[in-house]
Amino acid sequence: MRTGVIGLILPPTFSFLEMMWRICPALAVGCTVVALVPPASPTPLLLAQLSGELGPFPGILNVISGPVSLVPVLASQPGIQKVAFCGALEEGRALRRSLAGECAELGLALGTESLLLLTDTADIDSAVEGVVDAAWSDRGPGGLRLLIQESVWDEAMRRLQERMGRLRSGRGLDGAVDMGARGAAACDLVQRFVREAQSQGAQVFQAGDVPSERPFYPPTLVSNLPPASPCAQVEVPWPVVVASPFRTAKEALLVANGTPRGGSASVWSERLGQALELGYGLQVGTVWINAHGLRDPSVPTGGCKESGCSWHGGPDGLYEYLRPSGTPARLSCLSKNLNYDTFGLAVPSTLPAGPEIGPSPAPPYGLFVGGRFQAPGAQSSRPIQDSSGNLHGYMAEGGAKDIRGAVEAAHQAFPGWAGQSPGARASLLWALAAALERRKSTLASRLERQGVELKAAEAEVELSARRLRAWGARAQAQGHTLQVAGLRGPVLRLREPLGVLAVVCPDEWPLLAFVSLLAPALAYGNTVVMVPSAACPLLALEVCQDMATLFPAGLANVVTGDQDHLTRCLALHQDVQAMWYFGSAQGSQFVEWASAGNLKPVWASRGCLRAWDQEAEGAGPELGLRAARTKALWLPMGD
Amino acid sequence: MSAHNRGTELDLSWISKIQVNHPAVLRRAEQIQARRTVKKEWQAAWLLKAVTFIDLTTLSGDDTSSNIQRLCCKAKYPIREDLLKALNMHDKGITTAAVCVYPARVCDAVKALKAAGCNIPVASVATGFPAGQTHLKTRLEEIRLAVEDGATEIDVVINRSLVLTGQWGALYDEIRQFRKACGEAHLKTILATGELGSLTNVYKASMIAMMAGSDFIKTSTGKETVNATFPVAIVMLRAIRDFFWKTGNKIGFKPAGGIRSAKDSLAWLSLVKEELGDEWLKPELFRIGASTLLSDIERQIYHHVTGRYAAYHDLPMS
């Protein structure tokens, strides 16, 4: 089902093609578009005029030409259902913060830097052409980080410098130019960057036939920039290439992944095995093998980490503008007086209401972190009541330290789990399903104490086991090949795990919702840190007893405690790759606001209840889409 | 004639680690044709320069002294006099770079050029052109006879079977022998790239040919199914550049076969300028092997001067 009205915000230097790739899918699925473009470019206005000539459908494409200050105004208009922002990192962050709680969804596509990895088994001359395509032509969006294997450093630098000498820059109508200019602002930015780099001891090489007037800047090659210098932390601006050496392929992966940006990268190597290993290992949205900058509307293009997680092109691009049918339109849950600094900061203490009467319940559960039950850092527990007000049990009071430990444990378990074959993951999930069925009577009796009828309780347990099996089976699907016109060779659309997924479970359906969220996350190769239902976490903790014996340590971690406090810790954690929140409306707003820290993709319920027992909402394709991220792997072929 | 390439000792490490990525080279080839275009009077100047690079060729079974004579005359006067006068280039001595014929016709060509009072060199193909599948003894004898008859440039074909079986040492030795048989004549080594199988083989064969002492490397005989294409040329030009970086010797480049239109010839000039630089845009280091190209260039020049399109019969035949 289509989303509605899309607000599209484009950066100061965008290409016509990029704009069309965002507008056309939106129109194709039935959304209407309002685009905000910088005042310097008249092309989108012409496009809007052409679309206005479609008599029966005036107003499907509207274009406003205005300055950057209009961005928050457009984004907070009541009629807009989704804002697609394309531009610089800081503006994207600010937009994310200001849109927390608004009814518009946000899709971010940030940053223009890309990466080129040159190994010693590459065709160096062709890789140099790849560098030209990436950084010194009108096709490349921004600067380039170039990683060259140490054994071919001298040769590669020599060929690069020779090639730079042949580049020509000038106005587009000249007919014999390689690249043009990107405006005065871009020119200032790159001048500052180069000055700073020089002052930190880098070597700067510039060449090429470039006019000396202001908006033109010569192609620049920076080497010997120490990685710890402040210059090396920011994005590389156009038209700079920052070159650094590496020793082995493993080191290359560490260096390449050691940056918050995750847009696109290319790997140059004639050894198939090495090229594929590097391609699969890079944490980016698009990988080209022995090519750079190839694009096609049928291939999804996007990023991960701080490059934002919105996609254009391919099936993922269409999903941006769709939402599952039957879900109601998102309501704004904005509460203007939510104090982000104090939300969830202090944990309200719970004192016992009176002397405890009745049989003593079982000893308090600890937190399930790192494969075993541990005592919480705060060394305290809180009582859990059942539906008739009696004491049901005690749960541990988890805090910030416990969250930190849980996320670390999840990260340690992640490489092993992600490296497992889909079959191995499926068998673990099936084993858990069998364990749940063996435990049916205990779980059913606990659910009864929470006020659920016996029959319904047993049905819930069976449904949970069935869901685990179903997701285990779905783990088989890895990725598929796309057909791209004009390219000889396959393009693979891979589905990769996100990393560590933080899930805050809803209060309703304490067992079913917990399992319905755990299963897809694990099936796609993620490790999880879960905060179970606040009203009755004991069911989740029962499941943990089985997980302790079946799962590798750290695969699933369950931390109980005050929901708001734990939500705060998880949302602000920079090393959590994605977050699913099914709590209150205020909590949703906080989670969206806090995700601006590392721009993690967030799925928040905004206080709406979800029918977990229905197939569409409890086990629908939306869960599978959100549990993994896409990577496009281009493999041009030919000899 | 410029000094000969004395060649170097065989060093297989120059070719052992080389890799050429075919799709990337194809992309670069498309780019060159799209990104460097010349118009108006600069185009006319480039076309005249292209004329001075042409090795006017006739390699057919039915060549006799009459069409050789016509060819040599056209080589002396490639563009019609009045068109050159209109461009103010009639006194610059614009002729083609050479005339290229089969060994049996060398005598006729030398005679015709002497009669016309023109001192452009006669190039002869040799060593079992075009397939090269004859005994080494007869191949060397062909070179010696052609040189005796008066050819000052020899276009030899390499033994493709040596490339396809990886016998680089034997290939080096053969070309060394061709070099010796040429004596003072200019040696152009035809690699027949359409039959070498992969771009990596093209690079390796180019390097071996240059190490063995060729003055020029040439893409093809013109008789294969695939002759001179941009991807192959890019690889050969990169080999020439690498050889220059290693030894300081400048080796020439000649594409042959399949170059028919003036637009193509401009693209070839851009390619050499981009990959090697302006120093290679001289007849001593760059030739184009063509026969019908000259008429198309003449028609373009006619259009530039008069603004009208010529018919083929408006311009003298070659």
Residue from A64, A72, A62 nearest A26 by CA: A62
In chain A, residues with a C-beta closer than 8 Å to the C-beta of B274 are 166
Contact A121 B26 (CB under 8 A): no
Say which of B188, B204, B218, B250 is annotated catalytic: B218
Q: Is residue B78 part of a domain?
A: yes
**What is the token pair recorded at A322?**
């769709």
Q: Is residue B313 part of a domain?
A: no
In chain A, residues with a C-beta closer than 8 Å to the C-beta of B39 are 175
Sorted by sequence, the CB contacts under 8 Å of residue A591 that are 6+ apart come out as A567, A571, A579, A581, A602, A604
Say which of B74, B188, B204, B254 is annotated catalytic: B254
A66 has which bridge partners? none
More confident residue, A285 or A385: A285
Average pLDDT over residues A237-257: 93
Q: Is residue B252 part of a domain?
A: yes
Query: What is the distance in angstroms between the Cα of A121 and the nearest Cα belonging to chain B?
Result: 7
Q: Is A336 on the interface with B (CB under 8 A)?
A: no
Residue in the structure block whose two tokens are 């405690």: A561
**What is the token pair recorded at B79?**
């563009």
Average pLDDT over residues B297-313: 90
Confidence category of residue A504, pLDDT binned at 50, 70, 90 = very high
Confidence category of residue A348, pLDDT binned at 50, 70, 90 = confident
Residues B139, B143, B144, B149: is their CA dihedral positive or negative?
positive
pLDDT at A185 over 90: no
Domain count, chain B: 1
Q: What is the pLDDT of residues B107-151, one digit of tens each?
A: 999 999 999 988 899 999 999 989 989 999 999 999 999 999 999
Residue among B19, B26, B238 whose CB faces A270 most closely: B19
Average pLDDT over residues A332-346: 77
Contact B35 A639 (CB under 8 A): no
Most confident of A3-7, A490-494, B35-39: A490-494
User: What pTM, to 2 d.p., does this model score?
Assistant: 0.89
Share of chain B above pLDDT 70, in %: 99
Q: What is the pLDDT of residues B185-232, one digit of tens each?
A: 999 999 999 999 899 999 999 999 999 999 999 999 988 888 899 999
**What pLDDT, on the 0 to 100 scale, is given for residue B1?**
42
Contact A126 B28 (CB under 8 A): yes
Residue among A123, A129, A636 whose CB faces B19 most closely: A123
Q: Is A130 on the interface with B (CB under 8 A)?
A: yes
Residue among A177, A270, A488 whose CB faces B21 most closely: A270
pLDDT at B33 over 90: no
User: To probe the interface with A, which of B18, B19, B35 has the most A CB atoms within 10 Å?
Assistant: B19
Q: Is residue B254 part of a domain?
A: yes
Average pLDDT over residues B57-84: 91
Q: Is residue B302 part of a domain?
A: yes
Q: Is residue B105 part of a domain?
A: yes
Q: Which of A101-105, A356-360, A577-581, B80-84 has the lowest mean pLDDT?
A: A356-360
| 8 A C-beta contact, residue B286 and residue B253 | yes
Share of chain A above pLDDT 90, in %: 38
Q: What is the pLDDT of residues B262-289, one digit of tens each?
A: 999 999 999 999 899 999 999 999 999 9
Provide the CATH number for the domain around residue B100. 3.20.20.70
Q: What is the pLDDT of residues A64-79, one digit of tens each?
A: 888 878 888 888 788 8
Average pLDDT over residues A501-521: 92
Sorted by sequence, the CB contacts under 8 Å of residue A177 that are 6+ apart come out as A168, A169, A170, A171, B35
More confident residue, A515 or A38: A515
More confident residue, A51 or B255: B255
Confidence category of residue A357, pLDDT binned at 50, 70, 90 = low
Q: In B, residues 82-141, which contact A (CB 8 Å cutoff)?
A: none
| 8 A C-beta contact, residue B83 and residue B298 | yes
Tell me which amino acid residue B143 is: I
Q: How far apart are CA B72 and CA A503, in angstroms?
A: 85
Q: How far apart are CA A301 and CA A316, in angstroms?
A: 8
In chain A, residues with a C-beta closer than 8 Å to the C-beta of B19 are 121-123, 270
| 8 A C-beta contact, residue A285 and residue A302 | yes
What is the chain A residue with the closest CA to B274?
A: A166
**What pLDDT, on the 0 to 100 scale, is given for residue A429?**
93
Q: Please state, rounded to an integer, the average pLDDT across all residues of chain A.
A: 87
Q: Which helix (H) or strand (E) element contains residue B204? A: helix B199-211
Contact B24 A126 (CB under 8 A): yes
Confidence category of residue A329, pLDDT binned at 50, 70, 90 = low
Contact B35 A123 (CB under 8 A): no
Contact B19 A175 (CB under 8 A): no
Q: Is residue B256 part of a domain?
A: yes
The question of whether B76 is a catalytic residue gets the answer no
Q: Is B39 on the interface with A (CB under 8 A)?
A: yes
The question of whether B218 is a catalytic residue gets the answer yes
Give the domain extent around B107: 12-306
Residue in the structure block whose two tokens are 């070159």: A243
**What is the token pair recorded at A200?**
């930190």
Q: Which of A146-155, A363-372, A543-552, B304-313 has the lowest mean pLDDT?
A: A363-372
Q: Is A637 on the interface with B (CB under 8 A)?
A: yes
Q: Which of A62-66, A311-315, A361-365 has the lowest mean pLDDT?
A: A361-365
Q: Is residue B171 part of a domain?
A: yes
Compute and round to an integer the Cα radius of gyration of chain B: 19
pLDDT at A374 over 80: yes
What is the chain A residue with the closest CA to B19?
A: A123
